[in-house]
Structure formats: C-alpha cells, structure tokens
Structure 1
Amino acid sequence: MALVVLAASPAMADTSQASASALRISLVGGGLASSGTATATNDGTTESISGNTNPPLSVLGSQSVITAGVLGQAVHAFNDGTSAACAGVVGAGGAITIGAGGSCLVTPSGSVVLTLGLSGPATIAIEAEEIYSSCTATSSPSATGTTVLSNARITSTVAGVTTTLLSLPANPAPNTTLGVPNVLDITLNEQTSSTTGQLSVTALDLSALAGTLASVTIGLSSCGPNAIAPPVSVIPLAGMPVALGLGALASGIGGGIVLLRRRRADARA
C-alpha cells in the first residue's frame, strides 16, 4: 500500500525566468548598438543562464555615445519559483549584481556620461553615478519593479562650459515623463506587463530631437511570468506496473500470514 501511495504522490516544481539588457542606442543614420540580453530560466531544479551578465563596452561597437562606464545585466532564476533581474549603467569600476534574496546590489564608482550629440552649438549629454532598473517575480503570481538614478542630470556644454538642463529624480514613480521642450522626451521607470506575474521595467527611455539626434534605452529588466509546474509522479508511469506488482506481492504475503494465524487459532480451539 505504501508503494502505491508513493507512486500516486505528485512532485511539484515551480518554474521561473528573468532577462536583463543594460543599454540600447539608436544611432544617427539608423544604426543600432546594444549590450545584448542576459537570460535566466529554471525548471524547478536547475538554473540556466545565457548571454553576458557583464558585457564590455566593446560590444557596443564604434558608437561614441558612451565611452566610459560599466554595463550590468544581472539575472537569477531560483528553484522556488522566484526570479530577479537588474540592468543598467554605472561608473567605471562599479558593478551590478543580484543578492541572495533577489535584491539588486549596485556598487557605484565615479560617473558615467552618455553623449547624445549636438543641438546647435551645444553638446547634450546624460551624466550620472548610476542608472538602473530591477524587478522580482514569484509563481504566486506577482511581480514588482523599481528604478534608481543617482545624481543623474541632462547637461548642455557650450565652449567648455557645462550647465544642467534637467535634474532627474532619484526614485521616480512608474512611468514618469519629463523633458526639455523641443530637445528631449524622457520616460523614467517605464513599467509594462503582458500578464499577471510578469513585469518589464525600463530605467530610462530617451528620445533626443524626436529621435533624429539619438534614442537611448537604459536598464531593461524583465521578470516572469513564473508558474507552478503540473504535478509529476514520483514513480514514472513506465514504472507504475512494477510498483503495483510489488504492492500486490506485499499485500498477498501479508494476507497469507493473517490466514495462517487464523487456521492455527481455530485448530487450538
């Protein structure tokens, strides 16, 4: 009986997934520079990670938008049906990783500058210590996300003199929009969801001069959807006849012993 119960008992396994992309730049003339995407998946027992979690700036090719700094696109898919992602840019010497509980761990170092191009005599740029997004998801299902910008600002440099056109909030609310009239359109902490338990977060999405100067997407993190996998028998169906056979044999032996004891009792009576 124990064997039959064991064969019928299900084994549950939660699946999880996450992806992260640090930087995408649409260049003047239609070119595209991208840091690529790191992806993590887990079938409930084993995590698989593809893509580069710490891509060098050289993956962006010959672009001149960002020439110093660190790209980070960390991902983790845990065995318990949770997943986490963290993506963005930090100053040279910094790092972006994921902690044991799925939290985003960022070590800033110096500053990062993204030169968007020229608007008349002015050079327009983004300067910050760090710009990144993060997300987590569970198989319950649920998902949350956030964006952090440290000392981030849009600058204009003319004849060697730099002025701040716009200071960016450190912890913007989801889908915060702002900009510089006729120059920049910016969305911070852009959050979208395709289904319950799935969330994509973009730290900064910028279009300069309606995209004719540059379009930049910084820190795209995506988590979920994660799910509870269908029940799987502890003993595969192919092994079920064996289990049932062993169960029947054990039952027969037990029944025979009980019958023999009854006969002996009757004889003594």
Structure 2
Amino acid sequence: MAAAAGCTAALLAASPALADTSQVSASALNITLLGGSVASSGTFTANNTDGGSETTTGDSSPLLSVLGSQNVITAGVLGQYGTALFGGVSRGCAGLLGTGGEFVVGADGTCTVDNGAEVDLVLGVVAGATIALTADAIYATCEATSAPTADGAASLVNARITSTVLGIETTLLNLSPNPAQNTGLTLPGLLNVVLNAQTSSGPGQIDVTALQIEAISGLLVSLDVGNVVCGPNAIAPPIPVIPLAGAPIAAGTLGLVAVGGFLRHRSRREAAIRS
C-alpha cells in the first residue's frame, strides 16, 4: 500500500512545467497627415506561448515605400524589431535612422544602432517657413520579464526641430539625446512634443514611444517615431500528468493493484509452507 501511495505521489509530482510566455510589438513610424490619412510602417510582433518556438508577424525592416504617397520623409532607414524569448523575457526596439544607418539586434534581442547620415522629416510650412524634424537617429527600446518587471528608454541622436526660410536654417528646439520619461516640450503656435513617452497597463508591461509630435496649425496632424511594447509576460503554472481531479481515482486504482499483488504474494508463500 505504501508503494501505491508512493507511486501516486510520483505521478502527481511528475508535472512538466510549461515555460513562461512572452510577447513584444514594434513600429518604426506612424504619421497622420493633413486631411486625416495615415502613413505607417506597420507593426512587427513576436510571441512565445510554449517556451520553445517563437512566432512573428510583420516586416522588421520595412522600406520607406510602405508609407505610400507622402512627402514627409524621402530618405532614411526604418527598423522595428522584437524577440520573445524562452522563460518569459521579451525585448524590442524601433525607430528611424539616416541613410546608411543600421539596427543591430543580438540573439537575446539586445538592440544597438549604427548611425547613418542625417534624416529629415518635413512637418509642414507655416508663414513661408519649412518646419522639419532633423536627426541622426531616433529610437526606443523596451524589456519585460514575467517576474514581473518592465523597463524602457529612448535615444535621440543630434535631434532638433528646425525652421528654414530662403535656404537659411534656424534651430527652434534641441531635443535631449536621453530624455527622462514623458518629457514634454512646446513650440508655441506650432507643435507639442513628448520625448520618451511611456505608459503601462500594469506590472510587467510597458509601452514606449521615442518621440511624439502633435501639430497645432499648418503642419501634419501627428507623428510617432519608434514605438515598442513589451509584455505582459505570464508565468505558466505546472500541469500534472494526472489532473488533480483524477488523483483520487488514480490512487484508488493503484491501491487495488497493490492489494492484488499482496494477495498473490501471500498465496505463493502459504503454498510453499504446505509443501
């Protein structure tokens, strides 16, 4: 009987644990133009739901042609990457680089950037002045775990808002290269800017956008550069080989087997004594 109980315990203990799940999404550029039309790089996603195989959707390095008919940006490199790893870890990065720039993503999802040439985004024309966003690189990164933890950051390399009149460029606003979370800036009468915009739906989840612009008048409606969302990544519970609801039945069955074995052993022993 002790053997049966031990066997039942062993079966219940032999409960293979599923690995923690992970997820991430990334989008390099979204522009809402005057008139309400949208130019978007699309979204890249990665999910790992069984702790082994990662599934992805979308293009991680879309061409500028995916933005369709627009005159905001005519040269540059878009990148939107994410990795959903075994054990409930996800990492992502997304943004915009100048021509010749490159996003370098390691096997663990860690993202580094090789800056390219300067990239310009024309925001619009106001009173004869062309307002533009100029930078070498603008991108966001994020990481989340099933612990749960989540973290994100934004990088803006040589980024600034400029005004050009008759070929003469004037810097209206220099943008911090490593801004604090939700840094808000305003150019009165022109636009509002948020750097390193971060929100969270709860522990272990983070949504980061490197740069957000909302125009006030005469410019495109809005611009989001480098959006990444990591998590939430869930802890997967162990699953018993014999479900707990069936444990009493399993224990009873094993008990009957053990009793039968004991009786057979006793009969053989008594026959040996009589002989």
Which of 33, 41, 61 is equivalent to 2:47? 41
Cα offsets for 1:11-39 (capped at 9, x unmatched): 23201111011100010111110111111
Instruction: Tell me what 1:152 maps to.
Output: 159
Instruction: Tell me what 2:115 maps to.
Output: 108
1:17 aligns with 2:17: no
Letter in 1 for 2:41: S
Q: How many Å apart are 1:179 and its aligned residue?
A: 2.3
Letter in 2 for 1:181: P
Which of 14, 18, 35 is equivalent to 1:29? 35
Q: How many Å apart are 1:213 and its aligned residue?
A: 3.4
Query: Which segment is superposed worse, 131-140 or 222-231?
Result: 222-231
Point out where structure 1 has 5 or more consecutive residues left out of the alignment.
none
Cα offsets for 1:249-269 (capped at 9, x unmatched): 9857975797589769x95xx
- Misfit runs of 4+, over 3 Å: 1-7, 210-214, 234-237, 243-264
Letter in 1 for 2:197: E
Point out where structure 2 has 5 or more consecutive residues left out of the alignment.
none
Q: What does residue range 31-70 of structure 1 map to in structure 2 within 5 Å? A: 31-43=37-49, 44-70=51-77
Whole-angstrom CA distance in 2 between matches of 1:244 and 1:94: 64
1:166 aligns with 2:173: yes
Q: Which secondary structure does the structure 2 equivalent of 1:58 belong to?
A: helix
Query: Which segment is superposed worse, 44-53 or 254-263?
Result: 254-263
Q: What does residue range 73-222 of structure 1 map to in structure 2 within 5 Å? A: 73-210=80-217, 212-222=219-229
- RMSD of aligned Cα (Å): 3.0
Task: Name the one with the larger strand percent.
Answer: 1
Whole-angstrom CA distance in 2 between matches of 1:213 and 1:91: 21
CA contact (8 A) 1:113 1:126 kept: yes
Whole-angstrom CA distance in 1 between matches of 2:52 and 2:251: 28
Query: Which segment is superposed worse, 182-191 or 107-116?
Result: 107-116
Percent identity, aligned pairs only, is 52
CA contact (8 A) 1:156 1:165 kept: yes
Q: Is the alpha carbon distance of 1:240 and 1:98 closer, same or farther for their aligned partners in structure 2, counting shifts above 3 Å?
A: farther
Alignment TM-score, normalising by the size of structure 1: 0.87
Q: Is the alpha carbon distance of 1:166 and 1:235 closer, same or farther for their aligned partners in structure 2, counting shifts above 3 Å?
A: same
Cα offsets for 1:211-242 (capped at 9, x unmatched): 853311001100111111232234689x999x
Q: Which secondary structure does the structure 2 equivalent of 1:196 belong to?
A: coil
Whole-angstrom CA distance in 1 between matches of 2:208 and 2:30: 14
Q: Is the alpha carbon distance of 1:105 and 1:245 closer, same or farther for their aligned partners in structure 2, counting shifts above 3 Å?
A: farther
CA contact (8 A) 2:125 2:219 kept: no
Q: Which secondary structure does the structure 2 equivalent of 1:109 belong to?
A: coil
Q: Which secondary structure does the structure 2 equivalent of 1:7 belong to?
A: helix
CA contact (8 A) 1:85 1:104 kept: yes
Whole-angstrom CA distance in 2 between matches of 1:255 and 1:99: 61
